[in-house]
Amino acid sequence: MTRDEARAILEAHNKWRRGDDTIPNDPPWALGRAIDVAVAELAKPAAVSRVEWSVIREFADRKKVNFDDLCAAVKESTEAYDRVQAELAAQQPAAPAVTPVDVEAVREVIAKMRRNNPASLWASDLARAIGETP
């Protein structure tokens, strides 16, 4: 059974399962085979999911390479790439979570705001932001 046949059976079964009575039931063996094909497809390495496996199999046959060995090599190279990316990410300095603030400059702004308006809510909010009582 091909991927397209399996997909068609699974899509039809799902529509029927959700209440579409116009869909004829496939025999249980066909549904089982469609599930087997879907599970086999999901078990393939994710890094190559965008490539048609038939093309990879054709390449393996043309180059006289064992298909399973080729799949293992693709998986190994993908894992190596992921490790290198993780190492590079670990070497990057972490960005600060909060931009540093010049607390003294904020205190001066608060003082000016309170001189102009002693009941300023903005001044109270700024004071709370730098950890002081309003």
Three-class SS state of 125: helix
pLDDT tens digits, residue range 104-126?
Answer: 888 888 888 888 887 777 778 77
CA distances 10 to 5, 29, 52, Å, are: 9, 12, 20
What proportion of the chain, given as a percentage, has pLDDT over 70?
Answer: 87
Helix count (H) and strand count (E) of the chain? 6, 0
What pLDDT is recorded for position 51? Answer: 58
Give the whole-angstrom CA distance, residue 62 versus residue 86.
35
Three-class SS state of 74: helix
pLDDT tens digits, residue range 52-81?
Answer: 667 777 777 888 888 788 777 777 777 777
pTM greater than 0.85 (yes/no): no
pLDDT tens digits, residue range 24-56?
Answer: 888 888 888 999 888 888 777 665 555 566 777
What pLDDT is recorded for position 134? Answer: 67
Within 10 angstroms of residue 6's Cβ, the number of other Cβ atoms is 21
Residue with the two structure tokens 């002693």: 118
Give the whole-angstrom CA distance, residue 114 versus residue 99.
25
